[in-house]
């Protein structure tokens, strides 16, 4: 007989085993294959962390150079993808465009119909390499701008940001964006990762698993929260208006995005602390200083009124803003950064596969006779 213990939202349920990452709340650490994610973010670049996730070790200098070179060689996206994206409806959310692009990309991979594990390495590299190009250019297509061309001379992060903004970032901007990608790269088993491995457990292909993850990450209770945070910060306008704005929202029992977390309930999200420090470093103008003060005021009000700490989205959003990233790209960039972690989980699922097939607690009517 199935265990009918019910946990809404699967809260507290251990759904799988993994050697990839773990949220060690007791030690306020996010473990990535035994390494502290925040220490990785401040000591190595995003590609090193992606290598760690996918190859299970940090790369040597030669391995890093080869990894970067290999990804640069695979950044070309079939031009038909741009044609498809240009045909989408006028109200297309960029996460819907991204979902469509990844799904369409599968049709250009001759290995997609084979056994997933047999062709995984090539698919992983293709997806990781092409994701920044797709994310940047689906925005340019929507805005009727020329397509951006990747620059293999730049780092992964600098190239990604340059394709979005149209200009080469300075060293501080490059470091900030690289650290932002790194802290978004992996986070144990959030909804999108769970969605990806559930799909992979059927032995569906990698592209399908990622497409499902995009659909999950679009939601405002997951990846879409960062967009809502920035719009909220802009509505406040000044630090002086931040407290009355939030108090009015709370009085109406409205949800304040950027605060609280299913796992970090009694402490700050450690990734948010890193982003807060980065935000302080990026501030250079009076307008940017005002934005920083709005964030500080909002954090203080929410802790005082609700006992809630900021999560990553709260401070990542203004970092995006100061880097010149349009709000509509916040969640697609989140997904692009998370691609390395998602692919690592998909690979792990294929290696130790068991089909996910949970049961339910039935609360419908009892068995009865069909009316005559």
| Residues designated as active site | 222, 261, 313
Task: Say how far apart CA 275 and CA 272 lie, in whole Å.
Answer: 5
Contacts of 267 (CB under 8 A, 6+ apart): 25, 28, 309
Q: What is the 3-state secondary structure (H, E, C) of 227-271?
A: HHHHHHHHHHCCHHHHHHHHHHHHHCCCCCCCECCCCCCCCCCHH
Q: How many CA atoms lie within 13 A of 1 on its CB side?
A: 4
Query: CA nearest 128: which of 350, 331, 339, 348?
Result: 339
Strands 21-24 and 29-32: antiparallel
* Residue 56, Ramachandran bin (φ over 0: left; ψ between -120 and 50: alpha; else beta): left
What is residue 152's three-state secondary structure?
Answer: coil
Instruction: Characterize 54-72 residue by residue with b for buried, 16 or more Cβ atoms within 10 angstroms of its Cβ, and e for exposed.
Output: beeebbeeeebeebbeebb
Cα dihedral 331, 337, 343, 348 sign: negative
Q: What separation in angstroms does the CA of 127 have from each of 29, 130, 271?
A: 28, 5, 25
């Amino acid at each position: 007989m199935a265990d009918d213990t019910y946990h809404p939202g699967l809260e507290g349920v251990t759904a799988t085993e993994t050697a990839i990452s773990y949220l060690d709340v007791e030690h306020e650490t996010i473990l990535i294959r035994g390494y502290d994610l925040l220490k990785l973010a401040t000591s190595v670049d995003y590609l090193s962390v992606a290598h760690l996730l996918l190859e299970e070790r940090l790369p040597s200098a030669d391995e890093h150079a080869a990894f970067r070179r290999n990804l640069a060689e695979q950044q070309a996206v079939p031009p038909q993808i741009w044609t498809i994206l240009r045909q989408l409806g006028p109200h297309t959310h960029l996460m819907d465009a991204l979902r469509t692009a990844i799904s369409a990309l599968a049709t250009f991979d001759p290995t997609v119909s084979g056994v997933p594990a047999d062709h995984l390495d090539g698919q992983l590299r293709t997806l990781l390499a092409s994701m920044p190009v797709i994310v940047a250019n689906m925005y340019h297509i929507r805005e009727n701008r020329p397509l951006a061309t990747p620059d293999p001379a730049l780092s992964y992060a600098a190239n990604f940001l340059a394709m979005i903004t149209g200009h080469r970032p300075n060293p501080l901007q490059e470091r900030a964006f690289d650290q932002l990608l790194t802290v978004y790269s992996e986070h144990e088993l959030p909804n999108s990762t769970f969605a990806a491995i559930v799909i992979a457990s059927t032995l569906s292909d990698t592209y399908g698993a990622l497409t499902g993850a995009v659909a999950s990450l679009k939601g405002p209770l997951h990846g879409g929260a960062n967009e809502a945070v920035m719009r909220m910060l802009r509505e406040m306008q000044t630090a002086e208006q931040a407290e009355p704005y939030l108090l009015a929202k709370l009085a109406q029992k409205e949800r304040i995005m950027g605060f609280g977390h299913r796992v970090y309930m009694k402490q700050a999200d450690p990734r948010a602390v890193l982003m807060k420090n980065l935000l302080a470093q990026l501030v250079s103008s009076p307008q940017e200083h005002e934005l920083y003060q709005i964030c500080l005021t909002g954090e203080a009000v929410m802790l005082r009124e609700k006992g809630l700490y900021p999560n990553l989205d709260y401070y990542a959003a203004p970092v995006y803003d100061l880097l010149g990233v349009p709000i509509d790209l916040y969640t697609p960039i989140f997904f692009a950064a998370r691609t390395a972690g998602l692919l690592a989980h998909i690979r792990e699922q294929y290696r130790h596969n068991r089909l996910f097939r949970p049961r339910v607690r039935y609360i419908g009517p009892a068995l009865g006779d069909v009316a005559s």
